[in-house]
Structure 1
Amino acid sequence: MAETEAEIKARKERERDELYALDISGVEWHSAPGTEEHEERVEIAYLPEGAVAMRSSLDHDTVLRYTEAEWRAFVLGARDGEFDLKPTPENGGLAAQ
């Protein structure tokens, strides 16, 4: 039997609560190769059950956590260009053209 909308919402809230309850103080953070220690960059850490934590190298106190399904959807979307910036005056894109 398929989950109702309320059951799905409750399950996702439980997953989020469990994910944020994890002690991640000892995780190993990874960043893209070729970046210098002093450069701002995104860092990720692999968590149990395929989950991922993400933070800025300049702000270790703000950590976002994603379930395996959320991370997979993000990575696939990024590969497909879903998050590519469209050139606008606000992001400097039109000036670069």
Structure 2
Amino acid sequence: MDLSNARWRKSTRSGASGGNCVEVASNLPGVVAVRDSKDVTGPALVFAPTVWAAFIAQVSERP
């Protein structure tokens, strides 16, 4: 999958210290891509938007 047009944004849960960071690109048609910000040339996980929304809903309910 070509992610060259992805506009990556860092998770709001990521700290400013550069620790465990996740970046998400949701500007791609029909997919949401997720990658480790410390390895921007590494692999990315790709999800259907409905699956990503369900995941976010589940983790948002946790304290």
Identify the TM-score tier after normalising by the shorter chain. Answer: 0.7 to 0.9
Given the two structures, how large is their TM-score scaled by the length of structure 2? 0.74
Q: Which has the higher contact order (CA 8 A, sep 6+)?
A: 2
Q: What is the number of equivalent residue pairs in this alignment?
A: 59
Which ranges of structure 2 fall in alignment gaps of 5 or more residues? none
Q: What are the within-5 Å matches in structure 2 for residues 14-53 of structure 1?
A: 21=1, 23-32=2-11, 35-36=15-16, 39-40=18-19, 41-46=21-26, 47-49=28-30, 51-53=31-33
- Say which structure is richer in helix: 1
Q: What are the within-5 Å matches in structure 2 for residues 5-84 of structure 1?
A: 21=1, 23-32=2-11, 35-36=15-16, 39-40=18-19, 41-46=21-26, 47-49=28-30, 51-60=31-40, 61-81=42-62
Would you identify which runs of 4 or more consecutive aligned residues in structure 1 move more than 6 Å? none
Which ranges of structure 1 fall in alignment gaps of 5 or more residues? 1-20, 85-97
Tell which structure's C-alpha radius of gyration is larger.
1
Given the two structures, how large is their TM-score scaled by the length of structure 1? 0.51
**Secondary structure, in 3 states, of the residue corresponding to 1:55?**
strand
Q: Root-mean-square deviation (CA), in Å?
A: 2.2
Percent identity, aligned pairs only, is 29
